[in-house]
Structure 1
Amino acid sequence: MSKSLEEVNQSIATEGKKTGFRKILAFLGPAYLISVGYMDPGNWATDLAGGSQFGYSLLWVLLMSNIMALLLQSLSARLGIVTQRDLAQASRETYSPFINYILYFLAEVAIAACDLAEVLGMAIGLNLLFDISLIEGVMITVLDTFLLLFLINKGMRKMEAFIIALVAIIGFSFVFEMIFAQPEMGKVLTGLIPSVPNEAALYIAIGIIGATVMPHNLYLHSSLVQTRKFDRSKAGIKQALKYNFIDSTIALNLAFFVNAAILILAAATFYKNGLFEVAEIQDAHQLLAPMLGTKWAPILFAVALIAAGQSSTITGTLAGQIIMEGYLNLRIQPWVRRIITRLIAIVPAVIVILVYGESVTGKMLIFSQVILSLQLGFAIIPLIHFVSDKSKMKGFEISKITQIASWIVASIIVSLNAKLVFDEIQGWLQESEDPIVLWLTVVPLAFGFLILLLYIVFKPFVTKMKHQTENHLPHNFVLNFSESLAYNKKNIAISVDFSQADQIAINSAFELGGKAANYTLIHVVETVGAIMYGENTDDNETRIDEKLLLEYQEMLSKIGFKVDIKLGFGKPNKAIPKIVNEGNFDILVMGTHGHTGLKDLLFGTTVDKLRHEISIPLFIVKN
C-alpha cells in the first residue's frame, strides 16, 4: 500500500526528545496547516456578511462551528495516527469502486470551491494593496504553484514554519483591527447566545459552517499526522493522540479568534453605522479608513487577506494530492496536480468576473462556502464510521459518548444542508419559466445525492449485521466419513467459502485421501481492499475470514485430520491458481452452487476460468 503524502511520510522524528515540552513541540504543526483553511478568504466573506447584516447575533454560529471542527479534526487525526491511512485511503478500502468515484468527484468539487475562494481572496488582496485589476490578480495566483514546490522540497518543518508565520501575520493584523474598532463587549457576549434572525441569516450561517468545518481539511489532517515518526506501541499511539489533540485545540482556537474578529469588526464598524449590505471585501476595505480613522486599518486588512489566501492555497493543494492518491491510487507530479487544481478554480472565476463584473466576488465567495458545506456529510459520515470500528481502530476506537456527539454534529450539518437545498430548489421551481427542465435535472440529482448519503450512513450497520448472521460455520456441518483402503491422494487442496457447499467439498476430499493425506483449506478474500492491496490488506472481512478458517482447521484437526490453511486475496479465479501452483498438491476439490445462465453473469464463473490456470486435476462437487 502506498503511503499518504509519501515524500514527507514519517519524515519528522518525535522519539528521543528529553523533555515533555520538546516532545509536544515535535508533534505541533499539522493542525496549524489545517487552521489556515478555517481563516481563508471564504471565511472572510461569510463573516463580513454575517457581521454587517446581523451584527453580533451570529457569533454563536462561529463558536459552534469551532467546537464541531475541533471534534471532527480530532477524529481525523485519530484515524491517521492509529490506522496509518488517510480518510480517502480508508474510503477506498471500504466502499465499492463506483461509490468511491462519486465520493472522489464530490471531494474534488470541494477542493475546487475552496480554491475558488483562495484565488479570489488573493486577487482581491493584490487589487487592494497594489491596484492590480482582479483579472490580472487571478492570473498571478498561478505562480504560487512554484512556492508550494519550493516549500515541500525544503521539508515539512519548513512548510509548517512558513504557514505559522502567515497565521501570525493574520492574527496580529486583527489584534490591531480590534483595538481600532473598539467593539461593545456586552453585545459580543450576547452574540454567543443561539438565535437565527431570518432565512437570510440561515443561508449565511450555513456558509459560516461550511467555511469553518471544511471537508478537504478532514482528508488533509488524517494525512499530515502521518508525517510524525513515533513509537507504534500502545503507549506511543496514546501519546501521539494526546499531543495531536493539544495541537488541534491551540490551532483551531486561534482560527476561531480570527473569524470572530472579522465578524466583530464588521458588526462594530458597518452594522453599528447602518451599513447592512457590506458583504464585498473591497467595500469593507474602502470603508475601514474613514470609519476607524486610521490608514493602517485597510492596509493591515489587505495584508492579512493575502496571507490568508496564500497559506490556504498551499494546504488546498496538499488536500487535492491526498484525495487523488487515496481514492484513485493515482500519483502525478505535484506541479501538474497544482496547475490542474488552480485551473479548475481560475476558469469559473475569470468567466464570472468578465460576464458580471468585479461586484459579484463577494457572492461567489459565499456561494463557494455553501458548496463546501454541502459536501461535508460525504466526508464526516465515513469518518465517524471508521473511527468507531473496533476492527479498524484496534482498541483506539472512539467512546460511545464521542460517537453520540459526532452523530449529533453530523445530523446538525446534514439537516441544515437538507433545508438549504430544499428551500433553494423550491425557490427555483417557483421562479422558473420552464420548471420541467429542473424536474428532469436538478431534482433527480438532489435525490441521487440523498440516496448516496443514506447509503454511506447505513451500509456499515448492514454489513456488520450481515457478518454476524452469515459469517459463521454452516449449520448442521456433518462429516459422514467412512474408512476405505483405496486412498491414492496425499496432498489435497480444498476451496472453501463458508457456505453449505463446504461440507460436501470437504467430505468428498476426505473420501479421496482419508486420514493419511495432508489437506489445505483455501479461502479467497474478495473485498475492495483485498483487490487493491493483496496480502497487505487489513480490513474487517479479512480478519473474520481468517478466524473462520482457523475454526475449520481446529474442528477438523480434533477428529484426526492433518489440515493447513491458506488465505488468498482478490479474484478467486486468479488467487486460487496462484496458491495451487505454488504448492505441491495432487488435486483441487471445489464445491459449486450450481447456478447457470443469468446467475453466471451476476456471480461469475470461477470454475471455468480456474480450470485452465492450474496444472493438477480439478474435482468439482455440485451442491
Structure 2
Amino acid sequence: MLERNRQAGWKHQPGDPSLSEVYRSVAVGGRSAFRRAAAFMGPGYMVAVGYMDPGNWATSLAGGSKFGYALLTIALLSNIMAIILQSLCARLAIGAGRDLAQACRDAYPKPVSIVLWFLAEIAIIATDIAEVIGTAIGLNLIFGIPLEIGVLITAFDVFLILYLQRLGFRWIEALIIALLGVIAICFAVQIVLADPNWGEVIKGFAPTTEIVTNPDMLYLALGILGATVMPHNLYLHSGIVQTRAYGETLAEKREALTFATIDSTIALTFALVINSSILILAASAFHATGRTEVAELGEAHSLLSPLLGAAIAPVLFGIALLCCGINSTVTATLAGQIVMEGFLRIRLKPWMRRLMTRAIAIVPAAGVTIWYGDGGTSALLILTQVVLSLQLSFAVFPLVMFTADRAKMGEMVAPRWLVAIAYLVAVTIAVLNVKLLFDFVS
C-alpha cells in the first residue's frame, strides 16, 4: 500500500536507474551502525567539490582582498543553504527511488521536461567551462604550460574517469577524497604562512549590517551566495546516493537517509573550511597589505610569494587549484550522465558522453584563451557563474516541491518545518540571483 501511494503521485513509473553500471553496487551491510554509516561516506564529498570549484575561488578572492574577513558570514550562510538542499536530494533519491532528473521527467509533461533538461545541460556546460579554465590555470601556474595547451590537455581526463569506473565507484570517491585532502593541506600551510588575525576571523562569521548598506559589499556577497549552490550538484547527489545497496523497508530507508545526510553535512562543512580558507588567505595576504582589488587566480598566485615571504606559497596555491579542477571535472561528468539518462532515457557510453561534454566546453574556453588571454578567461569564468545562477532555481524549486509532496514521497515526505525552511532558501536564492543578474547586466 505504501509503494502504491508513493507511486500514485507520479505521472510515469520509474524507468531504469541512472548510472546503471554502479547502481546499488556499494554494500551497506554490517551489524554495527558505524560500519553501515561508513558505507555511506563518499557521495557527500563528491558533492562538496562543486562548492569549491574555480568559480567560487574568484568570488572568495575578490571578497577577501576587498573587504577582509567581513564576508565570512556569507560563506557560512551559503553553506547552511547547501546542507538543507543536499539533504533534500538524498531524501528524494531514497524516498521516491528517483534522481532529480527522473523525478522531473516522471512528474511534468514532456515539453516541460525537455525545457528543464535543456537548462540543466546548459548549467553542466557552464560548470565544465569553469573547470576547464581552472585546470588550465593550475597547469600554467605549476608547470608553466600555456593556457591554450592546458585547455586542450583537460580533454584527456576522460581516461582517468573511465579507468576508475571500471575498478568500482568507491575508487572514484577515493580519488575525490584524496585530492580534497591535498587541497586542505595546501591551504593549511598557506594560512600558517599568512598568520591571519584570528580574532578578526571569528568576528567575520558574525552578521553585520554593512553587508546590506554597502553596495559594493552587497554585490560581492550576492556573488558568493549565487555561485556557491550549483544546479548540477542537485542532480548529482540524488543520483549517486543510489549507488548504495540500502534496503526497501521504511526503517532501512530512514536509516539510509540519516547516514546520507550525515555524510553530506560533514562533507559540506569541510567545503566551508576550504572556502573560508580562500577568503581568509585573501584577507590576510592581500587586504591587510593594501592590495584590495585582487580577483584573478593568476594575479593571486604571483603575489603570494612576495607577500608571504615563502616561495612554496604560490606552488601550494597552484596545486590546490589543479586538484580542485580535476575533482570538479569528475563530478561534472557524472552529473551530465545522470541528467541525460534521467530526462531523456538516452544511454550513451560513458566515454562518448564525456567527450561530448568536454568538447562543448573546450571550444569556447580555447577560443577565449587564444584571442583574449588571461583577462578573457577571467571574464569567461565570471560569466559561467552568472549562467549557473540563472539555472539554479529551475532545479531548486522542483526539488523542494517533490520532497514536500506526500503523494510522491509517501512516509518519506519532508517534515513541514523543513519544507518551510527549504522554500525560504529557494526564494532567497531566486531573489539574490535575479539581483546578481541585474547588477551584471547594468
Q: CA deviation at 1:355?
A: 2.5
* Root mean square deviation, CA, Å: 1.3
Pairing 1:280–2:296 present = yes
Q: Secondary structure at the match of 2:295?
A: coil
| Cross-structure match for 2:42 | 29
| Cross-structure match for 1:63 | 76
| Cross-structure match for 2:199 | 186
**1:78-477 correspondence runs (5 A):** 78-192=91-205, 193-194=207-208, 195-196=211-212, 198-425=214-441, 427=442
Question: CA 1:210/1:338 → structure 2, altered by over 3 Å: closer, same or farther?
Answer: farther
| 8 Å Cα contact 1:374-1:417 kept in structure 2 | yes
| 8 Å Cα contact 1:207-1:373 kept in structure 2 | no
- Cα deviation, 1:57-100, whole Å, max 9, x if unaligned, reads 21111100100000000000110011110000000011111111
Q: Which has the higher contact order (CA 8 A, sep 6+)?
A: 2
Q: CA deviation at 1:360?
A: 3.1
| Cross-structure match for 1:51 | 64
Structure ranking higher in strand proportion: 1
Structure 1 CA distance for aligned equivalents of residues 340 and 214 of structure 2:
40
Structure 2 CA distance for aligned equivalents of residues 249 and 314 of structure 1:
21
Structure 1 CA distance for aligned equivalents of residues 19 and 438 of structure 2:
38
Structure 1 CA distance for aligned equivalents of residues 236 and 246 of structure 2:
19
| 8 Å Cα contact 1:207-1:366 kept in structure 2 | no
Structure 2 CA distance for aligned equivalents of residues 57 and 229 of structure 1:
44
Q: Secondary structure at the match of 1:13?
A: coil
Q: CA deviation at 1:307?
A: 0.6
**1:543-562 correspondence runs (5 A):** none
- Cα deviation, 1:511-553, whole Å, max 9, x if unaligned, reads xxxxxxxxxxxxxxxxxxxxxxxxxxxxxxxxxxxxxxxxxxx
Q: CA deviation at 1:359?
A: 2.4
**1:499-538 correspondence runs (5 A):** none
Q: Secondary structure at the match of 1:231?
A: coil
| 8 Å Cα contact 2:137-2:298 kept in structure 1 | yes
Q: CA deviation at 1:206?
A: 2.9
Greater alpha carbon shift after TM alignment, 125-134 vs 93-102: 93-102
Q: Secondary structure at the match of 1:129?
A: helix
Once superposed, which parts of structure 1, at least 4 consecutive aligned residues long, lie more than 6 Å away? none
- Cα deviation, 1:144-198, whole Å, max 9, x if unaligned, reads 0111111111111111111110110011111111111111122212222242464
Q: Which amino acid aligns with 2:348?
A: I
Structure 2 CA distance for aligned equivalents of residues 85 and 203 of structure 1:
37
- Which of 38, 44, 51 in structure 1 is aligned with 2:51? 38
**1:2-21 correspondence runs (5 A):** 2-15=16-29, 17-21=30-34
Q: CA deviation at 1:420?
A: 2.7
| Cross-structure match for 1:580 | none
Question: CA 1:308/1:67 → structure 2, altered by over 3 Å: closer, same or farther?
Answer: same
Instruction: Tell me the matched-pair count.
Output: 425
Q: Which amino acid aligns with 2:198?
A: M
Structure 1 CA distance for aligned equivalents of residues 52 and 345 of structure 2:
30
Q: Which amino acid aligns with 1:212?
A: T
Q: Secondary structure at the match of 2:347?
A: coil
Structure ranking higher in helix proportion: 2
| 8 Å Cα contact 2:88-2:400 kept in structure 1 | yes
Q: Secondary structure at the match of 2:22?
A: coil
Question: CA 1:330/1:200 → structure 2, altered by over 3 Å: closer, same or farther?
Answer: farther
Q: Which amino acid aligns with 1:325?
A: E
Q: CA deviation at 1:423?
A: 4.1
Structure whose alpha-carbon radius of gyration is higher = 1
Q: CA deviation at 1:424?
A: 4.2
Q: Secondary structure at the match of 2:64?
A: helix
| 8 Å Cα contact 2:148-2:366 kept in structure 1 | yes
Q: Which amino acid aligns with 1:3?
A: P
Q: CA deviation at 1:375?
A: 1.2
Structure 2 CA distance for aligned equivalents of residues 355 and 285 of structure 1:
22
Q: CA deviation at 1:354?
A: 2.3
| 8 Å Cα contact 1:51-1:264 kept in structure 2 | yes
| 8 Å Cα contact 1:209-1:373 kept in structure 2 | no
Structure 2 CA distance for aligned equivalents of residues 231 and 97 of structure 1:
31
| 8 Å Cα contact 1:27-1:247 kept in structure 2 | yes
Structure 2 CA distance for aligned equivalents of residues 325 and 201 of structure 1:
41
Structure 2 CA distance for aligned equivalents of residues 309 and 197 of structure 1:
35
Structure 1 CA distance for aligned equivalents of residues 123 and 73 of structure 2:
25
| Cross-structure match for 1:616 | none
Question: CA 1:356/1:196 → structure 2, altered by over 3 Å: closer, same or farther?
Answer: farther
TM-score (norm 1): 0.67
| 8 Å Cα contact 2:179-2:327 kept in structure 1 | yes
| Cross-structure match for 2:6 | none
Structure 1 CA distance for aligned equivalents of residues 203 and 406 of structure 2:
42
Q: Which amino acid aligns with 2:285?
A: T
Q: Secondary structure at the match of 2:418?
A: helix
Q: Secondary structure at the match of 2:412?
A: coil
- % same residue: 52
